[in-house]
Amino acid sequence: MFTLFGDKVSGNCLKVKWVADHLGLAYGWVDVDVVKGEAKAPDFLAKFPMGQVPAVEFSDGRSLAQSNALMLHLADGSALIPADGFARAEMLQWLFWEQYSHEPAIAVRRFQKFYLGKPDSEIDPALTTKGHAALNQMEQHLAKRDWFAGAGLSCADIGLVAYTRVAHEGGFDLAEWPAVRGWVARVEGALGLA
Ligand SMILES: N[C@@H](CCC(=O)N[C@@H](CS)C(=O)NCC(=O)O)C(=O)O
């Protein structure tokens, strides 16, 4: 049993929720409104010094943050982490890539456009360029493979689908990336989100 602190508009938080739900883990959910600054409130920072969600408090009092670390911890020993060493490394490859080359463009542009309501003219064009490059990279992989790592759904797919399935809210129309669109549907089906 653990408590997941999160905001349901955050793909990073949903990644962790989806892993827990998929694996049938027992947990409680505490809403943290990031737009209102609740992740920077003193009581939250006392528990979670990184000041971000998702964050988890376990029943023994230990705490952990960072979406991909949380997914990997909750999924430890399950089929969401490939048993084969190479496939496991591939999963990690895509999770590290997601945090550096995908989320900082696609999630950030979505936040600025959809949640802050910024007009396109006020959004850094580099986010569009970087987001397109990320989707192109995914398209190339998914033209040959059904999943990001190994032979089935893994934490890599869950990590990457979180912001890809809502990329249109950030101005990235997935019609341009048909293999990505097909994969999103596949992952949504596997997680029961569709
Ligand atoms: N690298 C972190 C990013 C977490 C993150 O950016 N969280 C955002 C919500 S998506 C947040 O808590 N923002 C509020 C803030 O920084 O005050 C992860 O993957 O968990």
pTM to 2 decimal places: 0.97
Angle in degrees, CA 95, 4, 50, rounded to 5: 65
Model confidence pLDDT, tens digit, residues 103-152: 999 999 999 999 999 999 999 999 999 999 999 999 999 999 999 999 99
40: Cβ below 6 Å to ligand 1?
A: yes
Q: Which residue has the tokens 């970087």?
A: 130
pLDDT of residue 158: 98
| Shortest-distance atom of ligand 1 to CA 40 | 17
d(CA 40, CA 99): 21
> Strand order of the sheet with strand 2-6?
27-31, 2-6, 55-58, 63-65
Provide the 3-class DSSP secondary structure of residue 16.
Answer: helix
| Backbone phi and psi for residue 55, each to the nearest 5 degrees, phi listed first | -150, 145
Copy the structure tokens of residue 79. Answer: 């089929």
List strand residue ranges (DSSP E) for the chain, in order: 2-6, 27-31, 55-58, 63-65
CA-closest residue to ligand 1 atom 10: 10
Is the C-beta atom of 66 inside 6 A of ligand 1? yes
Whether the Cβ atoms of residue 6 and residue 53 lie closer than 8 Å to each other: yes
Please report the pLDDT score of residue 38 as a whole number.
Answer: 97
pLDDT at 44: 98
* d(C-alpha 83, C-alpha 152), whole Å: 11
CATH architecture of 85-191: Up-down Bundle (1.20)
Task: Show me where the domains of the chain are located.
Answer: 2-74, 85-191
> Per residue in 57-99, pLDDT tens?
999 999 999 999 999 999 999 999 999 999 999 999 999 999 9
Cβ(12) to ligand 1 under 6 A? yes
* Residues 6 or more apart in contact with residue 35 via CB below 8 angstroms: 115
CA of residue 152 to ligand 1 center, whole Å: 28
The helix or strand, by DSSP H or E, that contains position 70, with its residue range, turns out to be helix 67-74
Q: Could you tell which of 52, 67, 111 is best to mutate to test the pocket of ligand 1, judged by most ligand atoms within 8 Å of the CB? A: 52
Q: What's the rounded Cα separation, in Å, for the pair 50 and 161?
A: 24
Structure tokens at 46: 């006392």
Report the alpha-carbon distance of residue 63 to residue 68 in Å, rounded. Answer: 14
Q: How far is the CA of 99 from the centre of ligand 1 (A)?
A: 11
According to CATH, the topology of domain 2-74 is Glutaredoxin (3.40.30)
DSSP reduced 3-state for 170:
helix
- Tell which atom from ligand 1 comes closest to the C-alpha of 13: 10
Domains 2-74 and 85-191 share a fold: no
